[in-house]
Structure 1
Amino acid sequence: MKIVVAGGTGTIGQLIVAAGRERGYDMAPLARSTGANVLTGEGLDAALAGADAVIDVTNTMTLSAKKARAFFGTATSNLLASAQRTGVGHHVALSIVGIDNADASYYAGKLEQERLVEASPVPHTIARAAQFHEFAAQILAGSNGPFALVPRTLMRPVAAHDVAVHLLEVADSAPTGRSRDLVGPRDEVLVDLARKYLAHRGERRRAIEVRLPGRYGANLASGDLRGTDAALQTTVTFDEWLAEQPTHP
């Protein structure tokens, strides 16, 4: 089985490619460095030729709803059009648990992606997962100086490796339109994870929780990102994941 991973050189994409190869799949990462561009469409047909499934984990870092919609709208439209031309049998899109009431900021782009996938004639599955354990480190990376501002976020974080394996299982199954959500094993507060991460790394910065305004901030603080009891739950906790991370800054 040939599986193309759009965004296959990124954090989650590399994990999917590695896990797929361990399981004997023919894995093909798709990125600009491999000669394919989801924003221009260049090289997509050649990259998707002969693929049984495409897993889309392309991403952009922005809090602008306009930029997020533009990125995910363009990338998703190009991938779906190419998948239709080349006869790909299953398009799998990674999305985020609990964002239905947050059509704002970054989440506006993910919801636009979901709408396009659902409207496409290409057989598909939208696979929503909770925020990764790495989310705390990503938030901290955006702050300089002695203080790091962390948005009030109630979550149930999940190991990225578990998400990678889940996406492979979804891709190797029949398209269902929507798979069960995937969440981590424990409810967490993002600022607590940030403080643990800083302590683990021996950094003296202080993490300070702030409540972001608007629908985006309300969604983060609402607990919606924790998913529901119907979600699949993984077993790797944040503390277990953190113990495997480097301790040096």
Structure 2
Amino acid sequence: MDTDEQEKMGRMRIAVAGATGTAGRHVVDVAVEHGHDVVPLTRSSGVDLTTGDGLAERLTGVDAVIDVANAPVQKQAEAFFGAVTRHLLAGEREAGVGHHVALSIIGIDDVPWGYFLGKVRQERLLTGADQPWSLLRAAQFHEFAEQALGFARLGPVCMVPRMRSQPVAAREVAQALVALAEQGPTGRVPDLAGPEVHLMHDLARRFSRARGLGRRVVPVPLPGAAGRRMRDGSLTAADDPTAVLGRTTFTTWLDGVADGR
């Protein structure tokens, strides 16, 4: 490989679907730190991923797409993730993009819950496509503890699903996704989780205290198979010897939140 080819391989043009979200912001930061050109695929950049409007123009000259698009949906999750994935794959095919990198969630096969069903739909569309892809499943981010406080709230009382989680730093997930884009199509790679298993309602309480929110957190066991799987650790990598574990603990992340970092 000559010098020009090496330089071309070293510097990539990476489009990030959901570039302003919890994971997306970190993906953008890491990609820029690695010297890549970043193309945000967001509504603010003129792209509607659910319809495909504005997508074609943004994918011109792109080497890889990292899909971390997200929406706080339950009943519409399959429709949302299905539409986004279909439009991205179609746009990539037309633009000649050589690699689609997707982020999914650990354990979703066994948790028949709205949001997770949407991610399963996303995975099936991707793995069934005739385009080069890589897929990383990760545990919930540390930020999920804050999000859980808003799921069901009545005044200061927050009802948080009783679930076991192995939260991971969003930046570590972003680093893994950018590394996949640089490496090239790999298929499904080992799952990524945090270094510790926790109960989510405990983390929500700790977040509330750290931020001085004064919330009263009530753990609620969700019914049915989905609730059982959330409680039995299916959403963790505890029994997976092939999983990769991040280094940032929830305590370390929370200390940063308390310090305003």
* CA–CA separation in structure 1 for the residues paired with 2:112 and 2:135: 17
Whether 2:234 is the aligned partner of 1:216: answer no
Whether 2:221 is the aligned partner of 1:189: answer no
Q: Deviation of residue 222 (structure 1)?
A: 1.9
Q: Which residue of 2 aligns with 1:240?
A: 252
Q: Which residue of 2 aligns with 1:75?
A: 84
* CA–CA separation in structure 1 for the residues paired with 2:17 and 2:223: 33
Q: Which residue of 1 aligns with 2:155?
A: 145
State the TM-score, normalized to the length of structure 1: 0.95
- Residue deviations 1:161-210 (CA, integer Å, cap 9, x gap): 11111110011112121011100001111011011111111232211111
Whether 2:18 is the aligned partner of 1:3: answer no
Q: Deviation of residue 247 (structure 1)?
A: 6.7
Asked if the contact 1:154/1:226 (under 8 Å) is kept, the reply is: yes
Q: Which residue of 1 aligns with 2:130?
A: 121
- Residue deviations 1:42-80 (CA, integer Å, cap 9, x gap): 11111111111000011111222xx10100011100000
Q: Which residue of 1 aligns with 2:40?
A: 29
Aligned match for 1:154, one of 144, 160, 164: 164
Asked if the contact 1:92/1:170 (under 8 Å) is kept, the reply is: yes
Q: Deviation of residue 37 (structure 1)?
A: 1.2
Match of 1:127, SS?
strand
Structure 1: gaps (5+ residues)? none
- How many residue pairs match? The answer is 246
CA RMSD of aligned residues (A): 1.3
* CA–CA separation in structure 2 for the residues paired with 1:128 and 1:93: 8
* CA–CA separation in structure 1 for the residues paired with 2:49 and 2:159: 33
State the TM-score, normalized to the length of structure 2: 0.91
Asked if the contact 1:103/1:111 (under 8 Å) is kept, the reply is: no
Instruction: State percent identity of aligned pairs.
Output: 46
* CA–CA separation in structure 2 for the residues paired with 1:105 and 1:194: 22
Match of 1:244, SS?
helix
Alignment CA distance shift 1:86-1:181 (3 Å): same
Aligned match for 1:100, one of 94, 102, 109: 109
Q: Which residue of 1 aligns with 2:211?
A: 201
Asked if the contact 1:170/1:179 (under 8 Å) is kept, the reply is: no
Match of 1:28, SS?
strand
Q: Deviation of residue 23 (structure 1)?
A: 1.1
Match of 1:164, SS?
helix
* CA–CA separation in structure 2 for the residues paired with 1:144 and 1:32: 32
* CA–CA separation in structure 1 for the residues paired with 2:141 and 2:209: 19
Whether 2:187 is the aligned partner of 1:177: answer yes
Structure 2: gaps (5+ residues)? 1-11
